[in-house]
Amino acid sequence: MCGIVGYIGSKQAQNLLIEGLGKLEYRGYDSAGLAVYNGETIGIQKTEGRLSRLGERLNVQSLPGSLGIGHTRWATHGKPSDQNSHPHTDQTGRFAIVHNGIIENYIELKEELTAKGHVFESETDSEVVAKLLADLWDGDLVSTVQKAVARLSGAYALGIISEFESDKLVAVRQASPLIVGVGEGENFIASDIPAILKHTRNVYILEDGEMAILKADQVTLMKVDGTPVKRDVFRVEWDINTAEKGGYDHFMLKEIHEQPKAIRDTLAGRLKEHNVDLSHEIALSDEEIKSIDRIHFIACGTAYHAGLVGKYVMEEFTRIPVECDVASEYRYRNPIITDKTLVILVSQSGETADTLAALREARKHGAKVLAITNVVGSSIAREADNVIITWAGPEIAVASTKAYTSQLIAIYLLGVYFAQIRGSKTKAELEEVVHHLQELPEKAEIVLGEEKAIGQFARSIASNEHLFFLGRGLDYAVAMEGSLKLKEVSYIHSEAYAAGELKHGTLALIEEGVPVIALATQKSVYEKMVSNIQEVKARGANVLGLAQEGNTELIKSVNEVIHIPATLDLLAPVLTVIPTQLFAYYACQERGYDVDKPRNLAKSVTVE
């Protein structure tokens, strides 16, 4: 996920582009850059770090001119660095491009272009586009772009300028969002509407396989094969805040809804037919993977709860004993670590202070170290020997949602991958898992369809100050996460309990009307779970049950049931957590708090 902008008109482009990028920082913020045509050549400024850092550089050396493109990056291929920042150019500096998406065939293109003498400066997939334009240059920018695009597979929104035709800005869209803003004597491109909303409310929304040729006073739309496209201008009526959140009221809700995509993206490129292939990402050899005799999941907060699921998943797939601990405890308790221990650190930001310290502690004791993180180039990603990136894109809301589900996906992939190598599951078993993994994005969409019913229950209990989540096995792990989510944003004192443990003390707190969220998706403990539900029902609890599709029994024991689509019990957490996220969101709304910025909390905890 990255953000791109472009401007052509009569004003100075630089500040308009920076301003536009500022509205797209939710799409990425690990580096940024601009390319502006100054009447003779294309000037470039780009830097690792937040947009403000680019601003400082431009204060020292500005980029004059009225044609330009800009980019704010969320690293995918290649860590955040000055070199990997966009825009990218060809070797002569005559073509500059910004790109959002992934060029899947970039390795073969890079080899081909390198063989022809093009020298690459970055580790990105994007740079091939600039080199390809120079290679294919036929004296006409639009025709050259069309030829180049014909060579690309994957997803791309592109913004392109060239010294050769400085009256134009060319944009192309394939599977990554792109809009054209239509102004008075000036026109814009952007990944999203908020970037241009200050200047115009008239936009064209490009569709896949379409391109736009912008001049200062004209916009031409066509398919990439040159077929003209006729489209009405779309008049944006949203305010800027809503626009920034993609039409949702809050980032948290937007990010909950982004989960099908985050799951799909995290799976993408890692499934080869019915197998999982992580060999390009993980440095561990097959021999090393076979030698592992203990796994420790170490994390904080929501990521710790992903680790709790990880314990079940890895033990089930590999039969290696797994321990899961919070980083702030682990690092100080003199844990037992050998060179056969694999320590898996889970952190959305990759900067969580305790998790980073635990990583260093584990390395010091000779452990193999693997990180699951959402941020390429983060401290934890840099210091781990092995990294699995979760392709959730930037998470803005403090309460983590899509990062969690993506972490689960990464853990499943790792489990299957290890099981393939260790032979700890049959081929048929693993293929079944892969098959069901592929269905999860679609099933997550179906769960999101229950939003209204979940919202209603949440509003009905929002005045309570106490609430309990119950589950057994994997449902208990999800209950922990659902409970934390509710606490974080609604400040209801929620607590998760292993359902069988409740009667050893906490049952004393269950009285008439206390809301209980009972997760009952796991077949092997279903009957026991129903017994536990009856224990709380008998004391007057108001119970919302979560069950897999096809369960028609649970409703007899609870007040309301939300169903998730049927899947393997082992994979259910990915779906089960979504109703609990929506539940937290709507409970917060009903109570009137700021869901994106809970009191006392910060997004990424970089203190201990």
- Binding segment for a second copy (CB under 8 A), chosen from 65-73, 233-241, 438-446, 487-495, is 487-495
Q: Which residue's CB is nearer to a second copy, number 222 or number 357? A: 357
Binding mask 338-357 for a second copy (x = CB under 8 A): ----------------x---
DSSP3 helix / strand / coil % (the chain, rounded to 5): 40, 25, 35
Q: Which is nearer to a second copy, 7 or 586 (CB)?
A: 586
The correct pick among 489, 520, 574, 582 for binding a second copy (CB under 8 A) is 489
Looking up tokens 């590999």 gives 318
- Is the bond preceding 87 in cis, omega lying within 30 degrees of 0? yes
Q: Backbone phi, then psi, for 603, in 5-degree steps?
A: -65, -50
CA quadruple 560, 563, 568, 571: dihedral sign: negative
Which region among 18-26, 109-117, 418-426, 495-503 touches a second copy (by CB under 8 A)?
A: 495-503
**8 Å CB contact between 156 and 176:** yes
* Three-state secondary-structure class, residue 123: coil
**Nearest approach, Cβ of residue 599 and a second copy (Å):** 6
In the shown chain, the binding pattern of residues 510 to 549 toward a second copy, with x for contact by CB under 8 A and - for none, equals xx------------xx--x--x-------x----------
Q: How far apart are CA 576 and CA 305, in angstroms?
A: 13
What is the rounded CA–CA span in Å between residue 111 and residue 116? 9
* CB 10, min distance to a second copy, A: 49
The piece of 50-58, 69-77, 265-273, 298-306 that touches a second copy (CB under 8 A) is 298-306
151 binds a second copy (CB under 8 A): no
Selected from 138, 232, 465, 512, the binder of a second copy by CB under 8 A is 465
Minimum separation from the CB atom of position 451 to a second copy (A): 23
Which residue out of 2, 300, 324, 588 is catalytically annotated?
2
> Contact at 8 Å (CB) between 380 and 371?
yes
Q: How far apart are CA 323 and CA 302, in angstroms?
A: 16
> Exposed, middle or buried by CB within 10 Å (0-12, 13-18, 19+), for 358?
buried
Pair 221, 178: CB distance under 8 Å: no
Q: Which has the closest alpha carbon to 8: 205, 264, 220, 282?
A: 220
Beta-carbon contacts of 305 under 8 Å, excluding residues fewer than 6 positions away, are: 404, 477, 478, 480, 481, 484
- Check binding of 607 to a second copy (CB under 8 A): yes
Q: Which stretch binds a second copy (CB under 8 A): 184-192, 204-212, 328-336, 567-575?
A: 328-336
The residue among 222 and 326 lying less far from a second copy, judged by its C-beta, is: 326
Interface residue with a second copy among 26, 312, 417, 586 (CB under 8 A) is 312
Number of residues that bind a second copy (CB under 8 A): 59
CB of 274 to a second copy, least distance (A): 24
Answer whether 75's CB lies under 8 Å from 97's CB.
no
Minimum Å gap between C-beta 352 and a second copy is 8
Alpha carbon of 176 to those of 150, 154, 274, 400, 459: distances in Å?
16, 10, 27, 24, 36
- Is 2 catalytic? The answer is yes
Binding part of the chain for a second copy, among 9-17, 107-115, 283-291, 499-507 by CB under 8 A, reads 499-507
Residue 365 found at the interface with a second copy (CB under 8 A): no
The smaller minimum CB distance to a second copy, of residues 52 and 426, is found at: 426
The answer to whether residue 603 is catalytic is: yes
Q: Which residue from 70, 81, 79 is spatially nearest to 25, judged by alpha carbons?
A: 70
Contact flag: residue 60 with a second copy (CB under 8 A): no
The phi, psi pair for 357, rounded to 5°, reads: -65, -40
Catalogue the active-site residues: 2, 603
Binding site for a second copy (CB under 8 A): 294, 300-302, 304, 312, 315-316, 319-321, 323, 326-329, 332-334, 336, 354, 465-466, 472-473, 476, 484, 487-489, 491, 493, 495, 498-501, 503-511, 524-525, 528, 531, 539, 598-602, 605, 607-608
